Structure 1
Amino acid sequence: MMRVLAVGPSATVQDLGRPGWFDSGVGVSGAADRASLRLANRLVGNPEDAAAIEVLLGGLAIRAEEPHLVAVTGAPAPATVDGVPVGHATALPLDAGQTLRLGFAPCGLRSYVSIRGGVVVEPVLGSRSRDTLAGLGPEPLRPGAPLPIGPAPPTWPPVDFAPVAPLPEVVEVRAIPGPRADRFADPQALFAGSWAVATETDRVGARLHRRSGPPLRRAMDGDLPTEGMALGAVQVPPSGEPVVFLADHPITGGYPVIAVVCDADVDLVAQARPGQPLRFRRAG
Structure 2
Amino acid sequence: MSLLVLAAGALTTIQDRGRFGHAHLGVPRAGALDAPAAALANRLVGNDPDAAVLETTLSGATFRTDHAATIAVTGAWCEVRVEGRQVAHTEAVSIRAGATVALGPARSGVRSYLAVGGGIDVRPVLGSRSTDTLAWIGPPRVQDGAVLPVGPHTGTPGPLDVGVWRRADRVLRVVPGPRADWIGADAWNGLDRATWTVDAASNRVGLRLQGRPLERCRHGELDSEGVVLGAVQLPPSGQPLVFLHDHPVTGGYPVIGVVVPDDLPICAQLRPGETVAMRVQSIAGIVAKDSAGSSTE
Q: Same fold (TM over 0.5)?
A: yes
Shift of residue 246, structure 1, vs aligned partner: 0.5
Residue 172 of structure 1 pairs with residue 184 of structure 2: no
Structure 2 counterpart of 1:72 = 73
Counterpart of 1:117 in structure 2 is 118
- Residue 199 (structure 2) pairs with residue 198 (structure 1): yes
Which ranges of structure 2 fall in alignment gaps of 5 or more residues? 283-297
Runs of 4+ in 1 over 3 A off after TM superposition: 160-168
- CA distance, structure 2, for counterparts of residue 22 and residue 163 of structure 1: 32
What is the Cα deviation at residue 165 of structure 1? 6.0
Deviation, 1:105, is: 0.9
Are residues 144 and 215 of structure 1, via their aligned partners in 2, closer, same or farther at CA, if it must alter by over 3 Å?
Answer: closer
- Report the alpha carbon displacement of residue 38 of structure 1 after superposing the two structures with TM: 0.6
Aligned CA-pair RMSD: 1.6
- Closer/same/farther in 2, CA of residues 167 and 88 from structure 1, 3 Å limit: farther
Shift in CA distance, 7/17, structure 1 to aligned 2, threshold 3 Å: same
Matched, 1:157 2:157: yes
Q: Output the CA distance in 2 between the equivalents of 1:110 and 1:59.
A: 9
Q: Normalising by the residue count of structure 1, what TM-score does the alignment of the two structures yield?
A: 0.94
Moved more, 72-81 or 185-194: 185-194
The reply to whether residue 90 of structure 1 matches residue 88 of structure 2 is no
* CA distance in structure 2 between the partners assigned to 1:53 and 1:150 by the alignment: 14
Shift of 1:189: 1.9
1:161 positional shift: 6.9
What stretches of structure 1 of length at least 5 have no aligned partner? Answer: none
- Cα distance in 2, alignment partners of residues 162 and 40 from structure 1: 12
Offset of 1:141 from its aligned partner? Answer: 1.1
What's the CA shift string for 1:145-197, capped at 9, x where partnerless?
Answer: 111100112x31331576556896x6211111222111012323211121010
What is the identity, as a one-letter code, of the residue corresponding to 1:159?
P
Kindly indicate whether the alpha-carbon contact (under 8 Å) linking 1:197 and 1:278 is maintained by their aligned counterparts in 2: yes
How far apart, CA to CA, are the structure 1 residues paired with 2:162 and 2:4? 27
Aligned residues: 279
Say whether the 8 Å CA contact 1:232–1:262 is kept in structure 2. yes
Q: How does 1:6-155 map to 2 (within 5 A)?
A: 6-153=7-154, 155=155
